[in-house]
Structure 1
Amino acid sequence: MEEVMDLLTELSRRKVLAIIRADGPDRALACIRTLVGAGITALEVSLTTPGAAEAIAKARSEFDPPVLIGAGTVITPEQADEVAAARAAFTVTPGITPGAHRSVELGLPLLCGALTPTEVVAALDLGALAVKIFPAKVYGPGYFRELRGPLPNAPLIAVGGVDAAVTPEYLAAGALAVGVGSPLLGDAGTGGSLEALAGRAKEFLQAVADA
């Protein structure tokens, strides 16, 4: 339980969770290295990336435990088993998937996707460490303030269309962190500039500092 609580504390402290989607494990690893070098040290590799588990395993071997590397888009129980074997630090799901159930069974910290209050409660009842509100951009930062009325202690992460400019608004509205994919990654996952990726990472970190 201590490790689980530490993860929640660390996500709350670091504020930015990078979501990596790439065209293969080598490019995913290159993006991880670039982001960690720029200062973003909480990352998930989406299983929509070919060879995602391989990239997670290599990254876990390369970086010390304070660099948090998890697996995203975990749908099936088999995927949860695969990323557990790759030593993913946590799993992220788009909803209450069979993979979410299996993650809880395995004792893997789970960031479970949800949108409505009913789904948030169900995700927490399942055993999710935190709830990924997705897609956040549909309702915006104000929605987080509304959710925190009846659910003041629910740990919420804003994911989906969150860019650097709006990040401070989500944090001010009660999100403990933001999960960022394409606004951060751009085309870096498919051969685009890693230098530009590092620049975007700095923008997000500055936005968090400003918040």
Structure 2
Amino acid sequence: MTPDDFIGALRAQRLLAIVRGGDPGAALDTVLTLFRHGVGAVEVSLSGADALGVIARARTELGPRSLLGAGTVLTENDADQALDAGAAFAVTPGVTSAVAACRERGLPVLAGALTPTEVAAAVREGAAAVKLFPASLGGADYLRALRAPFPDVPFVPVGGVDAAAARSYLAAGAAAVGVGSPLIGTSADGPGDLGALAGRVDRFRSEILGAV
């Protein structure tokens, strides 16, 4: 996947689900449920239990075309392992050495940044898009302010994004929004009600995207 392909997919999906699981089996079930109920882009955080194994097993189940990525990628080794596990993209919490490492390996990267200086650094290092994190510190007005000097940078706000905030960020020009616990709940931490997760997915997509 090229960086342009990745950006295009984010803009089309508008919703990136973030899974950080304490139970590998439950995390895998969560990922599969998200895709089966219409979420087209999912990030599995490497800070979760056996996250690389979850990515590898999900990739086997989903096939090569699903937009499944690795989050909390911090180092060159993380980038290598994410790629080997089948991640189609990487997400970093900041501008670390992993950004250039992902670019060099042909892995599109969504790099975390908050300030204008960090946004410029992320772009310079080769980020395909910028994860505005933690977005809750400034909200949609801050995103609008950042887009003035960076009109061509695709931003994906992450952190404290519920349905109401998601609508505001998208209206302010975000390429997509990244959503964790308001969508996932605790479903990735142990055997739970996947039907309830599916219901949250349908409601969330309906509320922010106008479709299920």
2:12 alignment partner in structure 1: 13
Deviation string 1:5-27 (CA, Å, 9 cap, x unpaired) is 11110110100000001113222
Q: Which whole-Å CA distance do the structure 1 matches of 2:146 and 2:175 have between them?
A: 13
1:83 alignment partner in structure 2: 82
Report the Cα offset of residue 38 of structure 1: 1.2
Q: Which whole-Å CA distance do the structure 1 matches of 2:118 and 2:81 have between them?
A: 26
Q: CA RMSD in A?
A: 1.4
Q: Which whole-Å CA distance do the structure 2 matches of 1:138 and 1:209 have between them?
A: 24
Deviation string 1:99-145 (CA, Å, 9 cap, x unpaired) is 22321221110000000111111101100000000000111011111
Q: How many residues are paired up?
A: 210
Q: Which whole-Å CA distance do the structure 1 matches of 2:63 and 2:86 have between them?
A: 12
Q: Which whole-Å CA distance do the structure 1 matches of 2:199 and 2:145 have between them?
A: 33
Q: Which whole-Å CA distance do the structure 2 matches of 1:200 and 1:118 have between them?
A: 36
**1:24·1:52 contact (CA, 8 Å) conserved in 2?**
no
1:198 alignment partner in structure 2: 198
Which structure 1 residue ranges, 4+ long, deviate > 6 Å from structure 2? none
**1:15·1:208 contact (CA, 8 Å) conserved in 2?**
no
Q: Which whole-Å CA distance do the structure 1 matches of 2:185 and 2:121 have between them?
A: 33
**1:44·1:71 contact (CA, 8 Å) conserved in 2?**
yes
**Residue type at the aligned position of 1:201:** V
Q: Which whole-Å CA distance do the structure 2 matches of 1:144 and 1:12 have between them?
A: 16
**Residue type at the aligned position of 2:55:** I
Gap regions ≥5 residues in structure 1: none
Q: Which whole-Å CA distance do the structure 2 matches of 1:189 and 1:73 have between them?
A: 16
Q: Which whole-Å CA distance do the structure 2 matches of 1:41 and 1:206 have between them?
A: 14
Report the Cα offset of residue 83 of structure 1: 0.7
Confirm or deny that 1:109 pairs with 2:119.
Answer: no
**Residue type at the aligned position of 1:52:** A
Gap regions ≥5 residues in structure 2: none
1:74 alignment partner in structure 2: 73
Report the Cα offset of residue 170 of structure 1: 0.3
Under a length normalisation based on structure 1, what TM-score does the superposition of the two structures give?
0.95
Q: Which whole-Å CA distance do the structure 2 matches of 1:209 and 1:12 have between them?
A: 12
**1:15·1:176 contact (CA, 8 Å) conserved in 2?**
yes
User: Percent identity between the aligned chains?
Assistant: 50
**1:159·1:179 contact (CA, 8 Å) conserved in 2?**
yes
